[in-house]
Amino acid sequence: MTASTPSLWQRLTYIYGRRLPKSMQRWVAEDLAGQGAVRRHMIRYAIPPLFVLAPFWLIPVNLYMHLEMTVPIYVWALLMTLALNKPWRRHRLAAHGLDPNLVDVIKRKQQARMHEDYERRFGPRPQEAKWQSNSSPF
């Protein structure tokens, strides 16, 4: 492994919040804002609730009761992970000293043609509309 790629231990600690050295910023940017970033985020944060809910499966009840106890909580955890994926990835980018707007790079590339068509038809957007150019809710 090179100095720009994290080791297994660094990667595991990074996944759940640790900052990586500046030499790995390119890797961090690709991980948090590149192709498949949402999928990686969902997989990473789908694992911890399993450990929390696993003891419920040790209770001696039927399968229906096990499912009734754990599935609603697990589904809720997955929905919250999906809902908060973009703010969390923005926070992680900022924590590593990177631009939080990198989260929208792929979306901007996909919509570039639509924006070019808009500018061709209606002219450039007014300067006061610049604050609306990112998807940050804050």
Per-chain mean pLDDT for the chain:
88
> Which residue type sits at 115?
H
In a domain, 104, yes or no: yes
Q: How many domains does the chain have?
A: 1
Identify the CA nearest to 101 among candidates 17, 34, 33.
33
In a domain, 2, yes or no: no
In a domain, 16, yes or no: no
In a domain, 88, yes or no: yes
Please give the Cα distance from 77 to 82 (Å, whole number). Answer: 9
In a domain, 135, yes or no: no
* pLDDT at position 34: 87
Counting beta carbons within 10 angstroms of the beta carbon of residue 1, is it exposed (0 to 12), middle (13 to 18) or buried (19 or more)?
exposed
In a domain, 8, yes or no: no
pLDDT tens digits along 10-61: 999 998 889 999 989 999 999 999 889 999 999 999 999 999 999 999 999 9
The SS3 assignment for 15 reads: helix
How much of the chain exceeds pLDDT 90, in percent?
60
In a domain, 77, yes or no: yes
Range of the domain at 73: 24-123
In a domain, 10, yes or no: no
